Structure 1
């Protein structure tokens, strides 16, 4: 499970280093090349909950193994792509494989570990993601320099092959009750289209106005799908998502807090390179060395917060983590050239520590409020919340910065401050959401 999280994250973060080479090879602008990252993200997020429910009904091992094979096969297609269009299709294939793995990894660990170890499991899994975030740019940079952007896809093949061989022996399928309910195909299709159109709208909102036909049309399609989905779920005997799950304050507020927590995390990665270049005039190597503070802080905190939440509970740790993250946002909202690299370093480090301290106890609380036969669905919904937060961070960062630069007469620093004050408000709203829990202990 950890190797799967590590592999997919190494692949995704290494591509950030490959983007300039891809732009040069295909002669495309940055906005177009960005779809190399966005296409698989949209595919994965729209399918996470669907695959989670399918695994709840049919088992996880075969689906997880299929995900490894599909992801590895997609990597081969990416490395051999003769055109940008083929590369996008290959990345969508990777997104399909990644969704199969992500939908079953944490859910499987939750099934085989006792509830008293839930925080440890979630923290360890998130630490694998943070480790991949740190390794990806370093390994990817070295491989790309030696063999071109194709190498960034080929480098994960040995890990994919080793995992595909090991999974049938290492992953034991828990015994399930005979006579599983039917899979809700209509609900799955409506949910998938609704999520995909909503996330697509967030993606487009980072490069064009919220009132544009594409954004408004995508949001309208999402609303229609949600309305129809709710009607269908009320009618079928075994719905894909039991809507009663959202009656749990812990489940609902925990997912909303997850969106609020990942928005600043994503915005940091988008906005800070502009600040470091425009205000501090740092070279790319200097920018990279400062940005690494974010995953380093996240890695350190996830290792501690998971086991700690098993010992002292989730009620204090989750909101405390978002308080730390919000303080980091405030520091960035008042950053100035006179502070040098101290302000961005402190803001990023606190951002990483905060989100790392928040994830394990928050996810553990959500899963504790979920019926055991719906763990896969809950894991999928958590993945959608995470992706929504990540995309909102880029949308708010991109659209907000552009609008505030115009409002401030073309001045970058006041615009940067305005955007970060808004992000700080979102972070503090996340603190409030993280305190909302069911009356029974989490």
Structure 2
């Protein structure tokens, strides 16, 4: 019979795999989009929804499922999420139309939200505080591994067996993870209290996030501006409703009364808002300005997530011994340095300089993320682990969408609806410099948000 340690190790592997799968599913499909477009004769707008649908539905459902996990049991929600992702992976591979593929991707995003909302909560619950940073560092590293592997594996699978193989290859792994989770994850003692679930608050929250994220991703279109404003208004209404709710879907009091929780989440949001679009911007710069192929671009850009993955594992262990606030703040400061380096790029910037800048960014982000996650998860009691896990996941996803939205807005302001032709290169390079400068300023503010959280909880 397996020992408790072996059970914990198997559970860690299960959670780490799901942390790898979620970014893999959101990123690997990007490489296959041209093949999907040819098969279904899709335009660019429809094609973008194949990628966006997963990210959007994941972010919308994260907080509600985090609360449901605290009410119904994290094991139950985690296993259901794996089952949904496994079934939808099979259905995505069997899709016969773009409508079916997008619809199944939306459901797959819901499964991904169930997995992400519970994974960190499960390992935080079963591992003692002196090991928490280490395992959360491993978990964060798995996210970066998924981001690193996705473009290469997605291209390899698409070239050998077609785009459908990206989804088929995950099915047997999901079956194994579901079985292992059912056997080795112990119930967390949560009672079935569905009647306490805040349906009104959840509905308002989901509408608010949908409007805000979709609207921001389509800026500066007039309808997108209206949607974004509507989303902000709905969020304010949501906060008002939650403050007067006996069992809210999101514990607003955690932000009001728990300084570490509030400023750690704010730091995470600022960090993702200032860094996620870096790969998107540099991908355009390298291919349009430097004339590099997509394959060479991917190989250059992979330097950042690889360094992230290595540093996140080290930083997670360090956060068990040292104050996460200090580690995270140092990491954010290093990111500022990397972004400032990139703000000086030109048409003649060397590949060596770009790689060094990306390595600096990767080191800073890895040093920031694991301790910051440890800080969030260690700042709440066990009854709130699900909502804490979901909240930091929401900060990640909304920050990513805001980052892309800001990049899209700036590009539109500098070159409008035009394609990036040689005549537009000077304007585009100026836009890129300004974007990196703005991101550096955001991260500089984030350093103070990180320091403001206060000392580590006892």
Normalised to the residue count of structure 1, the TM-score between the two structures is 0.93
Match of 2:452 among 428, 436, 440: 436
Q: Match of 2:116, SS?
A: helix
The residue matched to 1:335 in structure 2 has which SS?
coil
Q: Distance in 2 between matches of 1:181 and 1:438?
A: 36
Residue 179 of structure 1 and its aligned partner are, at CA, apart by 7.0
Contact 2:84 2:108 in 1 (8 A): yes
Give secondary structure in 1 for the equivalent of 2:186: coil
Instruction: Write the distance in 2 (CA, Å) between the matches of 1:63 and 1:422.
Output: 39
Structure 2 match to 1:83: 97
Distance 2:67 2:277 in 1: 31
Task: Tell me the residue number matched to 1:67.
Answer: 81
**Cα distance between partner residues in 1 of 2:291 and 2:456:** 52
1: CA distance, partners of 2:23 / 2:430:
34
Deviations 1:19-42 (A, max 9, x none): 121222222233431211211111
Partners of 1:394 and 1:320 lie apart in 2 by 25
Runs of 4+ more than 4 Å apart: 177-181, 406-409, 439-442
Question: Which residue of the partner structure matches residue 161 of structure 1?
Answer: 175
Map of 1:287 onto structure 2: 297
Say if 1:2 and 1:128, in contact at 8 Å, map to a contact too: yes
One of 387, 392, 405 as aligned partner of 1:382: 392
Compute the RMSD of aligned alpha carbons. 2.1
Alignment of 1:7-406 (within 5 A): 7-176=21-190, 182-205=196-219, 208-209=220-221, 212=222, 214-247=223-256, 248-405=258-415
Contact 2:71 2:191 survives alignment (8 Å): no
Contact 1:119 1:364 in 2 (8 A): yes
Residue 324 of structure 2 contacts residue 456 of structure 2 at CA under 8 Å; is this kept in 1? no
TM superposition shift of 1:216:
3.0
Rounded to whole Å, the distance in 2 between the matches of 1:221 and 1:351 is 34
Shift of 1:221: 3.0
Q: For 2:320, what is the secondary structure of its paired residue?
A: helix
Question: Partners of 1:240 and 1:386 in 2: how far apart?
Answer: 19
Distance 2:440 2:18 in 1: 33
Mind listing any 5+ residue stretches in structure 2 that lack a counterpart?
1-14
Q: How far apart are residue 140 of structure 1 and its match?
A: 1.7
CA–CA separation in structure 2 for the residues paired with 1:143 and 1:39: 22
CA positional deviation for 1:126: 0.6
Change beyond 3 A, Cα 1:439–1:324: closer
State the alpha-carbon separation in 2 of the partners of residues 235 and 251 from structure 1.
21
Separation in 1, partners of 2:89, 2:120: 23
TM-score, with structure 2 as normaliser: 0.90
For the 8 Å contact 2:411–2:431, the answer to whether it is kept is yes
Q: CA deviation at 1:219?
A: 2.5
1:256-308 superposed Cα distances (whole Å, 9 cap, x missing partner): 21121112331112100111122221122211110101210110110100010
Say which of 435, 439, 442 aligns to 1:423.
439
Counterpart CA distance in 2 for 1:388 and 1:227 is 16
Deviation of the 1:343 alpha carbon:
2.3
- Preserved contact between residue 20 and residue 146 of structure 2 (Cα < 8 Å): yes
The number of aligned residues is 437
Q: 1:191: how far off?
A: 1.6
Alpha-carbon deviations, 1:219-245, whole Å to 9, x = none?
343234334323432333222222211
Task: Tell me how far 1:177 sits from its aligned partner.
Answer: 6.5
- 1:328 and 1:101 map into 2 onto residues whose CA distance is 32
Would you say the 8 A contact 1:265–1:352 is kept in 2? Answer: no
Moved more, 6-15 or 358-367: 6-15
Deviation sequence 1:164-204 (CA, Å, 0-9, x none): 22211121112346878711111121122222221112222
| Gap regions ≥5 residues in structure 1 | none
Q: 1:79 Cα shift?
A: 1.0
